[in-house]
Structure 1
Amino acid sequence: MGAKLRETRRRIRGVQSTMKITRAMELIAASQIRRAQQRVEQARPYAELITRAIQDVATAAETLEHPLLEGRPEPKAAAVFVVTSDRGLAGAYNANVMRTTEELLQTLRAEGKEPTLYVAGRKGASYLRFRRRPVEESWFGFSERPGYDDAKDIADTLIEAFIDREVDEIHGVYTQFVSGLSQRATARRFVPMVVEEVEEEPEGPYPLYLFEPSPEEILSAMLPRYVETRVFQALLESAASEHAARRRAMSAATENADDLIKSLTRVANQARQTEITSEIMEIVGAAEALG
């Protein structure tokens, strides 16, 4: 067997081994997407409900002041919480998040606000270290299956920085899960919370609220929970998006490996045919010499 044929067959075996790995990772990611999507769908109603409740309380109270609702007169610093993955092999998932982060940082600096970075996920932390960007705090180990305790830990850190006036705003950069085929890196301001005014008059009599305890005490309890919910939602959507991106990346890698195996097989067949032809010519030549 010729050296070229041996090398080609060795490459085929190597690609086949790689294809088994990418195929297995594709199947694992596909099985995890559904569970992650269910967690996103289960958390969304609560996030919408607590947001609506805060808006109702803030709208119903005539005079209400709370640091998480108020926009400070001249904001000079902004916390930027970035959600990335702990592992790679997820296509452009992390690159899209960091691109959106860079755009947000430019916007904040143009507005005269100095950003302070907080990162969830090893990939984001590695990127920022490479770019020599200081990170105030980072969290690892739960990007694929975040828990509420993880979100609470992050939210407590962000709220403390805001209450202590280390930052005047809190922004989040994460990947919004639209569907298994569509995910969008997005930037959103968490704090100060924007209270949306209702444009349409409600049907029937306008509800009258009796607060017990006071609206201030109610919001003091609800607003930190609101930030926790927003952080948790960002983590859940990012986890589902990570699984979807990894499934697509591994599917593409498996298809590319299959195409490469077919190409190498053709090369191996051609090399084998050349060897056979050469052997036949040698036999014929030897027979003619003896004849």
Structure 2
Amino acid sequence: MPSLREIRKKIKSVKQTQQVTKAIKMIAAARLKKAQGQLIASRPYAHKVSDLVASLTERVKTQKTALPPLIQERPQATTRLLVVITADKGFCGSFNVAILRETLKYWEAAKAKGQEVQFFVVGKKGRDFFSRQNIPMAREFVNFIRRPAFSQAEILGREVVNRYLTDPQIAAVDVLYMDFKSVVRQIPALYKLLPPTIDKKKGMVEPAFDYIYEPAREKILAELLPRYITTELYRLIFEAYTSEQASRMNVMENATKNAGEIIDDLGLLANKVRQASITRELLEVVSGAEALN
């Protein structure tokens, strides 16, 4: 059985750890509250831009004019570009593990179809994982998710567009990120960024009449596509950032509770050791008195 001094030393150490986990939890909670508000505010605009691009794409495809390069299908292409969004920091539970596990599944599925995958990796944790596994990265972006900003999404968007336009072998651009469902539920999700998909399940009702566009539809679409890409990337980065803060808050809350339970258990053990020590001393006193008699 450990000595009383050793137990008290352990209690002090666990209390210090508990203070750290509690502080991290409070910081994550404050960031989560702010991020939730920004995410909720950004979703309607991003969805409207996405719906507008889908509507224009559907209308332009019915015409015989040349399509903008970003929406042209490439049936002969054999490469996919995957943007993987991970965190720059740890202490966020299974956040990074879940994303990287899905990344490997995506890669294996692509190889089974005879396709190659180019990786754009966002976040230090993803970059470190790819480096350890000797998986080649086309580009890496760090400190993007630590403080999400629209300018960062613009940088990433330009890189994605440039790679897509300069490499005709890229069939599609996908984004793997953590989708924020609630404070206690975040799930890995795959989003097809390019070419844009026309989702009939969204319930988007087309008007019975047609619009007159000025300038032409294809010109509007060509101008709108880069903004669509940047807006969607910004939303997805914010989804991942919000999920990261929620995961970190939950993990640190559990760690704080576990530390409290350990402190309670060590306190009981310290009481038992102290009682045993007192009992032993009393027995020694009684034994000494009996010996004198």
TM value normalised by structure 1: 0.94
CA contact (8 A) 1:60 1:209 kept: no
1:202 to partner: Cα distance: 5.5
Instruction: Give the match for residue 104 of structure 2.
Output: 102
AA aligned opposite 1:173: L
1:59 to partner: Cα distance: 2.8
After superposition, the C-alpha distances for 1:218-253 in whole angstroms (9 at most, x for unaligned) are 111111111111111110000000000001100111
Instruction: Give the match for residue 125 of structure 1.
Output: 127
Tell me the SS of whatever aligns to 1:135.
coil
User: Quick check: 1:58 aligned with 2:45?
Assistant: no
Following superposition of structure 1 onto structure 2, how do residues 9-24 of structure 1 map, counting pairs within 5 Å?
A: 9-24=8-23
AA aligned opposite 1:88: G
AA aligned opposite 1:275: S
Aligned partners of 1:133, 1:208: CA distance in 2, in Å?
A: 49
Aligned partners of 1:144, 1:76: CA distance in 2, in Å?
A: 33
Among candidates 162, 165, 180, match of residue 164 of structure 2: 162
User: Quick check: 1:193 aligned with 2:196?
Assistant: yes
CA contact (8 A) 1:144 1:243 kept: no
Q: Cα–Cα, structure 1 residues 151 and 267, in superposed 2: closer, same or farther, change >3 Å?
A: same
CA contact (8 A) 2:75 2:171 kept: no
1:131 to partner: Cα distance: 0.9
What is the aligned-residue identity percentage?
29
Aligned partners of 1:271, 1:51: CA distance in 2, in Å?
A: 67
AA aligned opposite 1:129: S
Tell me the SS of whatever aligns to 2:101.
helix
Question: Aligned residues, how many?
Answer: 289
5+ residue gaps in structure 2? none
Aligned partners of 1:3, 1:246: CA distance in 2, in Å?
A: 34
Tell me the SS of whatever aligns to 1:194.
coil
Aligned partners of 2:273, 2:152: CA distance in 1, in Å?
A: 57
CA contact (8 A) 1:40 1:233 kept: yes
AA aligned opposite 1:109: K
Task: Choose 10-19 or 127-136, whichever is displaced more.
Answer: 127-136
Aligned partners of 1:31, 1:188: CA distance in 2, in Å?
A: 28
Tell me the SS of whatever aligns to 2:198.
coil
Following superposition of structure 1 onto structure 2, how do residues 72-151 of structure 1 map, counting pairs within 5 Å?
A: 72-151=74-153
Aligned partners of 1:199, 1:239: CA distance in 2, in Å?
A: 25
Instruction: Give the match for residue 230 of structure 2.
Output: 228
Among candidates 202, 206, 210, match of residue 208 of structure 2: 206
Instruction: Give the match for residue 272 of structure 1.
Output: 274
Instruction: Give the match for residue 179 of structure 2.
Output: 176
Tell me the SS of whatever aligns to 1:112.
coil
1:4 to partner: Cα distance: 1.4
Q: Cα–Cα, structure 1 residues 200 and 80, in superposed 2: closer, same or farther, change >3 Å?
A: closer
Aligned partners of 1:161, 1:137: CA distance in 2, in Å?
A: 10
User: Quick check: 1:4 aligned with 2:3?
Assistant: yes
Tell me the SS of whatever aligns to 1:162.
helix
CA contact (8 A) 1:170 1:191 kept: yes
After superposition, the C-alpha distances for 1:50-108 in whole angstroms (9 at most, x for unaligned) are 11212222233332512221220212111110111111000001111111111111222
Q: Cα–Cα, structure 1 residues 109 and 3, in superposed 2: closer, same or farther, change >3 Å?
A: closer
Instruction: Give the match for residue 30 of structure 2.
Output: 31
CA contact (8 A) 1:145 1:236 kept: no
AA aligned opposite 1:50: V
Task: Choose 74-83 or 238-247, whichever is displaced more.
Answer: 74-83
